[in-house]
């Protein structure tokens, strides 16, 4: 009887296991990114693919297309919505035109450090934003770090807030970025990232603004002499999947994608922070002159940007802005208590 019971149990397990494994089909998700293959963003996509393969017996694969080979953030996000591309990792600013509240994440001089950003993005506020994406044909699988943004240019060192005046700077194709840099006295010029290096090389623009990891990986030091650690804005990416692709997955495949995305998110943040810390030294070695704005000059930046903060707090929704600030206050209080 005992042997018979064991046999029946084994048969039942096999019947259960059969349909589950059948839920995983061989699939290749094309993942387009704007940055180069050796940037932490692309490295994290490769890690995501490894995690997918490990959890699916090699059936689910993410194939990386780097350096804007499938388009820029705007066009790739549009392709996801149309179902002609499976995945991409755009800056959150790209999503402003679809869902206005996403814009609050880019409000200038909001976050003080990366840990604050993690807590807000992974907490109720960040998840509430991701929950708005399906209605626009997108699935948000997690926030990846781009980092604090800094200004580079080929003309002069920036030692004071007023030194930015008159520089022609490339910015992300977003009204918030345009207004931010126009308020600082620059000639803000919207341009796809894929066109930026050649524009700086040909002096069509004087400079740009990005985190140090991007400045190094994109070799901007070859065409830019000056870097000011302005920390004017924190920038995050969203790991996105097309809702059409997501809806075509089985529940088990969806679970595997979510688990792989969580692991890749932790990997990406750790990797880009290590890369960013190293990048500053590498940029100095490459000949870039690095300056920092004293606290008094940072205060001047904030004063210049106050009308922008007021305008876009309303534009993105005062309720949403207040939610963000309330969440930030809670995080800072928790961090303050923990530090004691």
**What pLDDT score was predicted for residue 340?**
65
Residue 17 lies in a domain: no
Residue 10 lies in a domain: no
Which H or E run contains 189?
strand 187-190
Q: Which domain holds residue 44?
A: 24-332
List, for residues 258-286, the tens digit of each pLDDT value.
999 999 999 999 999 999 989 999 999 99
Question: Please, are residues 64 and 137 in contact by the beta-carbon 8 Å criterion?
Answer: no
- Looking at the DSSP bridge assignments, the partners of residue 242 are 138
**Radius of gyration of the chain, Cα coordinates, nearest whole angstrom:** 22
Residue 13 lies in a domain: no
% of the chain surpassing 70 pLDDT: 93
**What pLDDT score was predicted for residue 136?**
98
User: Does 77 score more than 90 pLDDT?
Assistant: yes
Residue 314 CB contacts under 8 Å (≥ 6 apart), including other chains: none
Instruction: State the chain's mean pLDDT as an integer.
Output: 93
And the tokens for 286? 């490459």
User: Does 254 score more than 60 pLDDT?
Assistant: yes
List, for residues 18-49, the tens digit of each pLDDT value.
444 678 999 999 999 999 999 999 999 999 99
List, for residues 167-224, the tens digit of each pLDDT value.
999 999 889 999 999 999 999 999 999 899 999 999 999 999 999 999 999 999 999 9
List, for residues 161-178, the tens digit of each pLDDT value.
999 999 999 999 889 999
* CATH number of the CATH domain containing 293: 3.40.190.170
Residue 42 lies in a domain: yes
User: Does 15 score more than 50 pLDDT?
Assistant: no
Rounded Cα–Cα distance for residues 226 and 151 (Å): 8
User: Does 12 score more than 70 pLDDT?
Assistant: no
Name the more confident of 340 and 67: 67
Transcribe 23-68 into DSSP letters.
Answer: T---EEEEEE-SS-TTSHHHHHHHHHHHHHHHHHTT-EEEEEE-TT
Into how many domains does the chain fold? Answer: 1
- Name which of 189, 186, 152 is nearest 172 in CA terms: 189
Which H or E run contains 210?
strand 207-210
**What pLDDT score was predicted for residue 16?**
39
User: Does 298 score more than 90 pLDDT?
Assistant: yes
Residue 7 lies in a domain: no
Residue 86 lies in a domain: yes
The pLDDT confidence band at residue 14, using thresholds 50, 70 and 90, is very low
Residue 318 CB contacts under 8 Å (≥ 6 apart), including other chains: none
Whole-prediction pTM = 0.87
The pLDDT confidence band at residue 336, using thresholds 50, 70 and 90, is confident
**What pLDDT score was predicted for residue 173?**
86
Residue 115 lies in a domain: yes
Q: Which residues of 238-257 are buried (b: 16+ CB within 10 A; e: fewer)?
A: bbbbbbbbbeebeebbbebb
Residue 235 lies in a domain: yes
Rounded Cα–Cα distance for residues 207 and 229 (Å): 14
For β-strands 87-88 and 226-242, DSSP reports them as: antiparallel
And the tokens for 176? 């918030």
Question: Please, are residues 256 and 49 in contact by the beta-carbon 8 Å criterion?
Answer: no
């Amino acid at each position: 009887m005992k042997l018979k019971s064991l046999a029946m149990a084994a048969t039942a397990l096999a019947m259960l296991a059969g349909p589950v494994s059948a839920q995983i089909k061989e699939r290749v998700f094309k993942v387009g990114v704007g940055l180069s293959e050796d940037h932490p963003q692309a490295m994290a996509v490769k890690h995501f693919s490894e995690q997918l393969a490990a959890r699916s017996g090699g059936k689910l694969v993410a194939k990386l297309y780097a350096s804007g080979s499938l388009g820029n953030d705007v066009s790739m996000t549009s392709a996801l919505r149309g179902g002609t591309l499976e995945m991409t990792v755009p800056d959150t600013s790209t999503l402003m035109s679809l869902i206005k509240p996403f814009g609050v994440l880019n409000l200038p001089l909001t976050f003080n450090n990366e840990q604050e950003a993690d807590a807000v993005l992974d907490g109720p506020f960040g998840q509430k934003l991701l929950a708005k994406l399906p209605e626009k044909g997108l699935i948000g699988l997690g926030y990846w770090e781009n980092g604090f943004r800094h200004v580079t240019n080929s003309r002069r060192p920036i030692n004071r807030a007023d030194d930015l005046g008159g520089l022609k700077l490339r910015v992300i194709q977003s009204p918030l970025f345009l207004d931010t840099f126009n308020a600082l006295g620059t000639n803000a010029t919207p341009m796809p990232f894929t066109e930026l290096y050649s524009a700086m090389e040909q002096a069509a623009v004087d400079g740009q603004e990005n985190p140090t990891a991007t400045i190094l990986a994109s070799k901007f030091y070859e065409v830019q002499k000056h870097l000011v650690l302005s920390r004017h804005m924190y920038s995050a990416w969203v790991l996105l999947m097309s809702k059409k692709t997501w809806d075509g997955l089985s529940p088990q495949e969806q679970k595997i994608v979510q688990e792989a995305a969580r692991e890749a998110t932790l990997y990406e943040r750790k990797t880009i922070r290590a890369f960013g810390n190293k990048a500053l030294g590498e940029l100095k070695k490459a000949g870039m002159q690095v300056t920092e704005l004293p606290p008094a000059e940072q205060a001047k930046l904030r004063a210049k940007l106050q009308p922008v903060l007021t305008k876009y707090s309303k534009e993105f929704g005062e309720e949403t802005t207040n939610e963000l600030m309330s969440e930030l206050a809670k995080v800072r209080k928790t961090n303050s208590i923990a530090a004691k």
